[in-house]
Structure 1
Amino acid sequence: MIGKNNGGKVYVVGIGIFALLIIVGVLEFQYGNIQKAIYKYKVKNYLEQTYNEKMVVKKVSYLWDNIEPISARVYPKDAEQLEFTVYPSKEQANAYYDDYAEIVWLHQAKEDVDMLLADVDSEFKDVLFIDFTCCMEGDRVRVSNGEVTAYSEANLKFDLTFQLNRGMQAGDLEQIVEMISRLKQHEQLEIGNALFILQPEDDNSSRIEYKFSGKSLKEIQSIEDLDAFNESGLTAVSG
């Protein structure tokens, strides 16, 4: 009889815990929706006042146990391709930080590089990766009169990486020289480093990498000049 009573108590306690979890889940869901609605409203106002343009809040994410519990994906009404993220500020209450300026800079830099390489017949230009994080020095003027300062006006440097997931093929070295020649034509292009990488998938031992600083690009006039910048130490043969 005692065993049956204990079993019944355990059963009741189990049901109680399960019901409590459901209630907590529902409350958390409702609380999350409220938080998301408030965040969406505040973020939209903050962005439109900061950047002086209409913004569309695409999505607000709320995860109470995450490092960044709430965030929003946003884009300018007239430029959907410039999608960026907004987080609450960790330094002060009711403030936010976003990566809109960085997204604008990446877009501007890619447009400039694409224009320079537009008529170059090379696979490399289709696998371009641009990175500003390497070259951010202190605080930069990001917004002036409600507009993001152009990366060229802020004198921002960036890294260029061109990576093909294959080995060296005929004409690759000639293409690298031609692309460097085009990049040098843009005097306002502040390049930190330019990397050209050839690496077959699942074969790190065959990786060939050429790394040039922005200043050293001026030294490249021919295929022979590339040897000094071969970081892999492997002999690169093209032709």
Structure 2
Amino acid sequence: MITSNTPSTSESLFGQVSGPPSFGRYISRRLSIFKRISSSFSKTTSETDSFSHIIIGSLSYDGTTALPRLRGTKYDCCLMLKRSGYLHGDTSGGITLLNDFPVSFEDANGVEKVVPKADTSPKAIESAIRKTILKATAGSRVLFYFGGHGEEMQKHRFSLSAENPPQVIIVGNGERVSGSKLRSWLITGANPGVSVTAVFDACSSAGILGLSYQYEYCSKGIQIEKSPIKRRQ
């Protein structure tokens, strides 16, 4: 199972806020939404609701002059680390980090260290995803999270079809990764019974995996799906 996100929205974890399909992603309501999402993570979940493997991709593009820098992804990264139960020194390999910036983080044991920046090139991201998918056993649930820039390519750059959607994510050094490539990385070699959830906090990422999606607002204009992240021990 791979789940997609909503059209022309900026999605933070499992909450959605409407936003333009451009680089202007951070709007005034973002902070209040994070508070509501954060509270949902505090709820306990059953074993079947947990993720055994988590890949967290967060890009700020600090060293890329061709793209607007993103400040919010650094806060998002810390939130993901906290809610996924990341611990410094953990060598189990259950959580894989793909961040293009160093970030100071205090884990649940009270240990505060700087999480170093990682290689966020297409090759490194592909390698991380494929390794995670291959080691996931039957019954495992894998979460792939990407926070960064996304865009819809022009028709002459990609053929438009369900198998090859026009949306891309922008990774290290401004390189583009198509949705069809991402989908291939996320499903190729997966063992039977492994489910994959993909969350995109990026503009123009609706339908990026070539899957159907649901788009709706609640009465207050914001719809939040309460899907707490809990790493399976």
TM-score tier by shorter-chain length is under 0.3
TM-score (norm 1): 0.23
Larger Rg: 1
Question: Which protein has greater RCO, CA pairs closer than 8 Å, 6+ apart?
Answer: 2
1 or 2, which has the higher helix percentage? 1
Q: TM-score, normalised by structure 2?
A: 0.24
